Amino acid sequence: MLMNDVDEIGFSIIQNALSDSDISEFLITLNAAALPRSRAGIRHALRHPAVEKLANCTKLLNISRSVLGDTAVAFRATLFDKSPESNWLVVWHQDTALPLQERREVKGWGPWSLKDGVIYAHAPAEALSKILAMRIHLDDSTVQNGPLRVLPGTHSQGVLTDDAIHQNATQISAMDCIVPKGGILAMRPLLIHSSSKSLTQMPRRVLHIEYAGSLCLGDDLKLAIA
């Protein structure tokens, strides 16, 4: 069912993938590390041992490999921490930038950038089709606290212009992804998505981990661990 949903509509919600004790243990370890944070959370979090351990646990690897195959590997993680003190909205978009070990001038890749010492390039649809993002919910996601919103099925349209994304948003009914604590939203990066500001005092912490079928993307391009 997971693979069918991801292939057909671009996402799937997995209820109760992790237990309360799994989440609590992870948060205690993460908070003790006092990692540098931006207003929105922690970028390049896979470098932290607690995040790496969770990303490579049997439960998450089994989910990623059911979609990407037996060689699936985690390569990037980001902690999003939305709260009344740190609140934001994100307009409709696709996730197209990937971290790479080195820069190579390859057709279809770019523009290039450098973020916190990591090389990034916007990738073509073929490379992005080999990626699965898993959003682990560390708190309940509700209609009021700025959940992710998606336009089902749009992952199959390739990399879109801003105008095409806007047109989709006016023609396709959006879906709020309401996920309880411990649940996972698995999604393709080309699925058009957004989120609104939180309207409550409830936190909405999400650990966004990305997996690839392989770190090697072809044309001598390799994903960086970030």
> What is the CATH number for 131?
2.60.120.620
The pLDDT value given to residue 71: 96
Average model confidence (pLDDT) for the chain?
A: 93
Q: How far apart are the first and last CA of the chain?
A: 30
Domain span including residue 83: 2-222
97-100, strands of its sheet edge to edge: 97-100, 118-122, 112-115
How high is the pLDDT of residue 39? 63
- d(C-alpha 204, C-alpha 138), whole Å: 7
Q: Do the strands 90-93 and 97-100 form a parallel or antiparallel pair, or are they unpaired?
A: unpaired
Of 214, 223, 215, the residue nearest 68 (C-alpha): 214
pLDDT of residue 2: 77
DSSP 47: G
pLDDT digits (tens, 9 = 90+) for 90-116: 899 999 999 999 999 999 999 999 999
Q: What is the pLDDT averaged over residues 51-61? A: 96
68, pLDDT greater than 90: yes
Tell me the C-alpha distance between 84 and 65, whole Å: 36
pTM of the predicted protein model? 0.95
How many structural domains comprise the chain? 1
Question: Quick one: which of 144, 108, 113, 132 has its CA closest to 187?
Answer: 132
Query: Are the CB atoms for 26 and 54 separated by under 8 Å?
Result: yes
| CA–CA distance, 11 with 143 (Å, rounded to integer) | 18
Amino acid 72: pLDDT: 97
pLDDT bracket for residue 38 (50, 70, 90): low
Neighbours of 160 (CB within 10 A): 19
Q: What is the mean pLDDT of residues 48-62?
A: 95
Share of the chain above pLDDT 70, in %: 95
In tens, the pLDDT along 157-209 reads 999 999 999 999 999 999 999 999 999 999 999 999 999 888 888 888 999 99
